[in-house]
Amino acid sequence: MDILRRSLLSAALALLAAGPARAEPQATITVASTTSTEQSGLFKHLLPRFTAKTGIGVKVVALGTGQALDVGRRGDADVVFVHDKAAEEAFVAEGAGVRRQEVMYNDFVVVGPKADPAGAKGQDVTAAFTRIAAAKAPFVSRGDRSGTHAAELRYWKASGIEPGTGRDDWYKEIGQGMGPALNTASAMNAYLLSDRGTWLSFKNRGDLAVLVQGDRRLFNQYGVMLVNPAKHPQVKVKEGQAFIDWLVSAEGQQAIADYKIDGEQLFFPNAEAVGKP
C-alpha cells in the first residue's frame, strides 16, 4: 500500500510540476481559404493569437479561391477568406455569403529564370506575358480556379492571348496550389505568376527570381465573408463572426502587419473599418 501511495503522490507532483494543462478550444470553426494564406505561413502566425484571445479553434481548408467558395456554397465551412474580388462579390450577391469585408492586400509577381530568356523583366505584366508566349518559354499555370489563376487568365486576355490555344508544350497547367506550382517552376526553370507572400516564404527557388513587379494590375486584395446561415443553419454564426471581427480589428490588423520573413512584410492590412481589439 505504501508503494501505491508513493506512486500516486509522485504522479500528482509530476502533474503539478508540469503546470496546468492547455485548455481545449471551446468551439472550432472551419475556414475555407486560399493556399497562399496557408503556404505563406500567415495562418500559423495568426490563428494561435485568435484562439488564445477567444477560445475558438480554427480548422483551415486551403484550396484555390474558386474551390474555397464552392465549399462555402455547400455549407461545409463557416467562413470564407479568399482573394478574387469579383468572385467574392458574386458569392454574396447570390446569397451564399453575408457581407464581404476587405482584410489585407499584397501583390502578384512574375517569377522566372534569372537569365530571362523571354526578356520578360520589367514593370508591365501584359508585355511580359506577350514576350513569354512569343518565345514559347516554359510557363507553369496553377490551373486550379484560384484567385491567382483567375488573375493570370486576366493578364493573358489583356495580352491578347487566348488561354489554352496555340501554347503547344510550353504552357503547363498543373491543377495545384501555389507551393506545388513554385516547385514545378523551379524544377522546369519556368516562368509563373505567384503571390508575393508565398514566394517570400518559398525556399526551393532554384534559379528563379522576381522579374516583373510594380504594375498596378498586380494588386492582390483579400476579403472575408461569413457563410449565409439562412441557407446553411449549421453555420457557427457567433464564432465565425468573432473570427471576422478579430481579423478586421486593430489587434488582428496589427497581427497581419507583424508577419514578416527576413524582415519583409508579406501582407498589408486594409480593413474597411478597424474595430476595437
Which of 158, 166, 202, 212 shows the shortest CA–CA distance to 181? 202
Task: Please tell me the predicted confidence (pLDDT) of residue 165.
Answer: 65
Report the alpha-carbon distance of residue 212 to residue 192 in Å, rounded: 10
Which of 28, 60, 25 shows the shortest CA–CA distance to 45? 60
Domains 29-105+221-269 and 107-218 share a fold: yes
Report the alpha-carbon distance of residue 159 to residue 246 in Å, rounded: 40
Report the alpha-carbon distance of residue 163 to residue 150 in Å, rounded: 11
CA angle 149, 152, 157 (to 5 degrees): 130
Q: Where in 12-164 does DSSP place strands (E)?
A: 27-34, 56-63, 79-82, 97-113, 139-141
φ, ψ for residue 26, nearest 5 deg? -70, -30
Residue labelled with grid coordinates 507583424: 258
In the structure grid, which three cell numbers stand for residue 202, read together? 518559398
**Model pTM score:** 0.83
Q: Report how far Cα 197 is from the mean position of its chain's Cα atoms.
A: 8
- Distances 194 to 67, 163, 198 between C-alpha atoms, Å: 18, 18, 7
Task: Please tell me the predicted confidence (pLDDT) of residue 11.
Answer: 45
Give every CB contact of residue 35 below 8 A, 6+ residues apart in sequence: 62, 63, 64, 146, 177, 178, 179, 198
Which of 123, 108, 138, 106 shows the shortest CA–CA distance to 207? 138
What CATH architecture is 29-105+221-269? 3-Layer(aba) Sandwich (3.40)
DSSP state of 217: G
Sorted by where each begins, the domain ranges of the chain are 29-105+221-269, 107-218
Report the alpha-carbon distance of residue 69 to residue 254 in Å, rounded: 26
Which of 105, 150, 156 shows the shortest CA–CA distance to 131? 156
186 neighbors 168 (Cβ within 8 angstroms): no
What CATH architecture is 107-218? 3-Layer(aba) Sandwich (3.40)
Task: Please tell me the predicted confidence (pLDDT) of residue 172.
Answer: 93
Residue labelled with grid coordinates 478574387: 84
Report the alpha-carbon distance of residue 84 to residue 81 in Å, rounded: 10
Digits of tens for pLDDT over the chain (277 positions)? 455 445 444 544 444 444 444 445 679 999 999 988 998 999 999 999 999 999 999 999 999 999 999 999 999 999 999 999 999 999 999 999 999 999 999 999 999 999 999 999 999 999 999 999 999 999 999 999 899 999 999 999 999 998 666 667 899 999 999 999 999 999 999 999 999 999 998 988 999 999 999 999 999 999 999 999 999 999 999 999 999 999 999 999 999 999 999 999 999 999 974 444 3
For residue 238, what is the enclosing H or E element? helix 237-248
φ, ψ for residue 267, nearest 5 deg? -135, 150
